Amino acid sequence: MARAFEPVVISANDLFDGRVIYLSGKDEWVSQLQQAQLITDEGQAKDRMAQALALSDRAVGVFLAPAKAGPNGPEPGHPREAFRAQGPSNYFHGKQAEDA
């Protein structure tokens, strides 16, 4: 039996400063994971990935990042994505500092 499709968001790093960015449902690259479009269907993921690559002037390394639904929008689906969404754990740097 085929494995069920796990939800994803489309993510990348910003060309200029390398920070983590996500694709929103409005075809905009946004900084916050919660503002990203959660994709739960494999066909939709393929379509959105193709669209994202067309929008990749400022996005580097566009990929499908594991995510899950949360009360306020998408949440990380893997520890790696949690660090990307927040920042390192040894210093208060990165997105966690931007939010503060």
Partner 1 sequence: MYHHSEFDRAFVVDRAQRFRDQVNRRISGALTEEEFRPLRLMNGVYLQLHAYMLRVAIPYGSINPDQLRQLALIADRWDKGYGHFTTRQNIQFNWPKLVDIPDMLDALAAVGMHAIQTSGNTIRNVTADHFAGASADEIADPRPYAELIRQWSTDHPEFQFLPRKFKIAISGSPNDRAVVKSHDIGLRMIEQDGQPGFEVSVGGGLGRTPLVGQVIRDFLPATDLLPYLESILSAYNTVGRRDNKYKARLKIAVLELGIDHIRDLTEARFAEIRPQFDGTDQQILAQIAAQFSAPTLVDGRGTAEYDAARAADPVFRSWSDTNLHAHRHPDYAIATISLKKHGSTPGDASSAQMRLIADLAERFGQGDIRISHEQNVVLPHVHKADLAALHAALREADLATANLGLISDIIACPGLDYCALATARSIPIAQQIATRFDELKLEHEIGEMKIKISGCINACGHHHVGHIGILGLDRAGVENYQVTLGGDATETMAVGERAGPGFSKDEIIPAIERLVGAYLDIREDASETFIEAYRRLGPDPFKAALYPQKEAA
Q: Which positions lie near partner 1, rule CB under 8 A?
A: 13, 15-20, 57, 60-61, 77-80, 83-84, 87-91, 93-95
**Nearest to partner 1 of 71, 79 (CB atom):** 79
Shortest distance in whole angstroms from residue 77 CB to partner 1: 8
The two tokens of residue 92 are: 């208060």
**Nearest to partner 1 of 27, 98 (CB atom):** 98
Contacts of 70 (CB under 8 A, 6+ apart): 34
Helices (H) and strands (E) in the chain, counts: 3, 5
